[in-house]
Amino acid sequence: MALISLEDLEGLDEEQLDDDITDNPEPMDEEERDRLLAHWQAVASTHQVSVPPEMTGPIQEMTRNSQQREALPYTSISCHEKMGEVVFEERQYAAGHWACVTQSEALYEQSISKGFMKLMRFICKENSAGRYLGMTVPVLSNIQVTADGHAFHKEVETAFYLPAQFQNDPPRSFDPDVSIVHRGPINVVTRVFFGTTTEETVSHQVRLLWEMLGAREDLHRERYLVAVYENPGVPRRRNEIWFIRRDA
């Protein structure tokens, strides 16, 4: 099956791509499945990652339920605007259970891509509940910066906040690489950006936000979070860079 190009991706009509998928309860036919898989393979190829055919089922499930996403609960502490636009915001996110997986690949973008595919399989019935769990946003990637501050460590954790109905009784994953972890509340400073989440683009966003914030000792400099709000099949997806406040 031929992969579509980046130019093809930019020209895709999202409504056309999802036509008869998200609103149609009937199973996809072979042509629809192939078209959807080819779309995800093309996106993954930009991260030098291959999407195996066995991901077809989870991709279909995620696409079919793409309009039903639960947002992480948080409290806005402060919002900084310039000329009517939000420049950055400080938030507190609630404690809760997360499904986490750590990957260590040659490239940062390979680690997050492969980690997310494992989480997709967990969400899409490869769990002790035996059902589709539902999607929450954003999905987080926890990145560690090398001592010289010029690169990311290869080991990257990707995490998914369990939907509210599973917070008190979290299902287990069939994949031993996926663990369920309870985390306390976290305070972050966030800034929105759009597009891909490669090491290059994320590094650029880190520099931009530090330029805006200036010298602040209350925020970590050795680790950051990248928050992704849309699945990798969306050409221009919404993301955020999160700076983590140090514990008081």
Query: Are 142 and 236 members of one domain?
Result: yes
Query: Are 23 and 94 members of one domain?
Result: no
Query: Are 116 and 51 members of one domain?
Result: no
Query: Are 101 and 212 members of one domain?
Result: yes
Is residue 95 in some structural domain? yes
pLDDT band of residue 184 (cuts 50, 70, 90) is very high
Nearest in space to 72 (alpha carbons), one of 236, 185, 156, 221? 185
pLDDT band of residue 147 (cuts 50, 70, 90) is confident
**Cβ-count burial of 242 within 10 angstroms (0-12 exposed, 13-18 middle, 19+ buried)?**
buried
pLDDT band of residue 30 (cuts 50, 70, 90) is confident
CB atoms within 10 A of CB 204: 13
pLDDT of residue 1: 29
Beta bridge partners of 139: 228
Is residue 33 in some structural domain? yes
How does pLDDT run across 89-123, given as a tens digit for each residue? Answer: 999 999 999 999 999 999 888 899 899 999 999 99
Taking the whole predicted model, whether its pTM rises above 0.85 is answered as no
Query: Are 201 and 139 members of one domain?
Result: yes
How many Å apart are CA 150 and CA 26, to the nearest integer?
Answer: 49
pLDDT band of residue 236 (cuts 50, 70, 90) is confident
Query: Are 189 and 212 members of one domain?
Result: yes
* CA 244, chain centre distance (Å): 17
17, 32, 64 — which closes off a domain?
Answer: 64
User: Domain with 78 in it: what CATH number?
Assistant: 3.20.80.10
6 pLDDT exceeds 60? no
The residue type found at 62 is M
Number of structural domains the chain divides into: 2
Mean model confidence pLDDT for the chain: 83
Q: Look at 34-43, 130-139, 196-205 and tell me which has the smallest mean pLDDT.
A: 34-43
Query: Are 32 and 80 members of one domain?
Result: no
Is 194 within 8 Å of 239 (Cβ atoms)? yes
Which residue segment(s) compose the domain that 196 sits in? 71-245
